[in-house]
């Protein structure tokens, strides 16, 4: 018998619909509560789903739709200063990455969940929760309440549920960079199945040729102080374009990509954050999943993939454990070491993106170390990319 029959999921991005689908698969009735009135179609920009994430999506029945909507990426190239191009070794048999917008992944998961009978309620801002021995009640800002056997926080790096579980829990750490995304009708020296990671003269960026011509790109702009998404979007786009032109003017093809971008299409995505290790993943009948508990640097290429994996593993634990505390303990045991290991590895890479004066002087040494690591894919990449979940296997107590 499952540890829970009903679940209230807070957050309707990627982790929320993913855990709702996994819980449905486990026979647990679920409702998802999202604080926004409707989903922001532009939220989050493009992400790269790793092979392990795509495999997890196939377990939920969403893999084929994501592959059809995404852009397959088979090769990765790293450049330093534009004059040195190094093809990073692949991992045979692991599968390709998929470049796709975060909003599209969310839509696919949400529509699939709705098709399975999962309810979504919008305009529901969580403010408090009450627990007893048998249930937990979510209290929302509009005065409404919802009671279920468990409450799952899938509400991102600024999670309210995390604070309810542990008022002293750490918050997200700012990486020192703001994210932007754009597209330009500019050709580059790579094909549509190649992602290029470029360490420019003053800042990091990445780019990929898009089907039908042109080039998409993502920017990690060093910024000493964090800016919320609202604050970043309050700055006139013309001002951001001036900053980006100055930052990338000597980079190839970065300078041409910025110059070729229609300012009206520049997407401002705000500050990039990571989650430091969270001491308490759960308390009582409340538990965290996805970015609310493990948001690695975007350098990992694993944020959304790990969120989907954790959603599935949490559902398996609730399915197989005899009680809620036991399910949550099994879930944390399955996930903590993996997600914190990937986050730590990505943090080391992330420091080369906004290194500061000392770091810039040491950049050649840092890059040699990075390349030495990257050239051993079976040791450094295989544990992350070859990870697969056996849904039918019972979770040990």
Q: What is the 3-state secondary structure (H, E, C) of 351-396?
A: CCCCCHHHHHHCHHHHHHHHHHHHCCHHHHCHHHHCCCCCCCCCCC
CA distance 99 to 96: 10
What was the pLDDT predicted at 106?
96
* 6-73+94-171+275-352 shares its CATH topology with 173-273: no
Return the H-helix or E-strand segment holding 32. Answer: strand 29-34
CATH of domain 6-73+94-171+275-352: 3.50.50.60
User: Are residues 94 and 109 in contact, defined by beta-carbon separation less than 8 angstroms?
Assistant: no
CA distance 287 to 294: 12
CATH of domain 173-273: 3.30.9.30
What was the pLDDT predicted at 45?
87
Q: Which residues of the chain have pLDDT under 70?
A: 39-43, 82-83, 299, 347-375
pLDDT tens, residue by residue, 57-114: 999 999 999 999 999 999 999 888 766 788 888 888 899 999 999 999 999 999 999 9
What was the pLDDT predicted at 359?
45
Q: Show the tokens assigned to 17.
A: 């619909």
What was the pLDDT predicted at 321?
95
181 DSSP β-pair partners: 218, 267
User: Are residues 297 and 274 in contact, defined by beta-carbon separation less than 8 angstroms?
Assistant: yes
Return the H-helix or E-strand segment holding 131. Answer: strand 126-131
The pTM of the full predicted model, rounded to 2 decimals, is: 0.92
What was the pLDDT predicted at 294?
95
CA distance 46 to 114: 24
30 DSSP β-pair partners: 7
Task: Compute φ and ψ for 210, nearest 5 degrees.
Answer: -105, 150
What was the pLDDT predicted at 368?
59
CA distance 219 to 223: 12
Strand 150-153 to strand 145-148: parallel, antiparallel, or no bridges (unpaired)? unpaired
Give the domain ranges of the chain. 6-73+94-171+275-352, 173-273
């Amino acid at each position: 018998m499952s540890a829970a029959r009903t679940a209230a999921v807070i957050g309707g991005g990627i982790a929320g619909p993913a855990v709702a689908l996994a819980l449905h698969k486990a026979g647990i009735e679920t409702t998802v509560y999202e604080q926004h009135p409707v989903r922001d179609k532009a939220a989050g920009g493009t992400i790269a789903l790793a092979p392990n994430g795509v495999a997890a999506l196939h377990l939920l029945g969403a893999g084929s739709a994501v592959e059809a909507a995404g852009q397959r990426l088979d090769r990765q190239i790293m450049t330093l200063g534009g004059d040195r191009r190094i093809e990073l070794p692949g991992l045979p048999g692991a599968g390709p990455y998929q470049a796709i917008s975060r909003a599209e992944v969310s839509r696919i998961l949400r529509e699939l969940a709705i098709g399975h009978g999962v309810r979504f309620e919008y305009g529901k801002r969580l403010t408090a929760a009450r627990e007893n021995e048998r249930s937990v009640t979510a209290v929302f800002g509009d005065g409404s309440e919802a009671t279920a056997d468990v409450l799952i926080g899938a509400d991102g790096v600024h999670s309210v549920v995390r604070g309810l579980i542990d008022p002293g829990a750490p918050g997200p750490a700012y990486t020192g960079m703001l994210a932007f995304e754009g597209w330009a009708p500019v050709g580059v020296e790579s094909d549509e199945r190649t992602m290029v990671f470029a360490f420019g003269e003053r800042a990091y960026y990445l780019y990929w040729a898009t089907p039908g011509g042109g080039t998409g790109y993502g920017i990690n702009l060093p910024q000493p102080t964090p800016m919320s998404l609202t604050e970043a979007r309050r700055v006139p786009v013309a001002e951001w374009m001036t900053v980006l032109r100055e930052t990338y003017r000597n980079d190839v093809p970065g300078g041409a990509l910025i110059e070729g971008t229609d300012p009206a299409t520049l997407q401002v995505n705000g500050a990039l954050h990571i989650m430091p290790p969270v001491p308490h993943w759960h308390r009582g009948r409340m538990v965290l999943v996805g970015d609310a508990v493990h948001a690695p640097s975007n350098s990992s290429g694993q944020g959304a993939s790990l969120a989907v994996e954790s959603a599935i593993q949490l559902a398996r634990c609730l399915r197989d454990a005899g009680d809620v505390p036991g399910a949550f303990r099994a879930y944390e045991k399955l996930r903590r070491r993996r997600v914190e290991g990937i986050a730590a590895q990505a943090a080391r890479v992330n420091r080369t993106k906004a290194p500061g004066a000392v770091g810039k002087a040491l950049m050649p040494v840092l890059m040699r170390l990075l390349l030495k690591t990257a050239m051993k894919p079976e040791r450094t990449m295989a544990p992350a990319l070859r990870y697969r979940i056996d849904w039918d296997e019972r979770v040990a107590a």
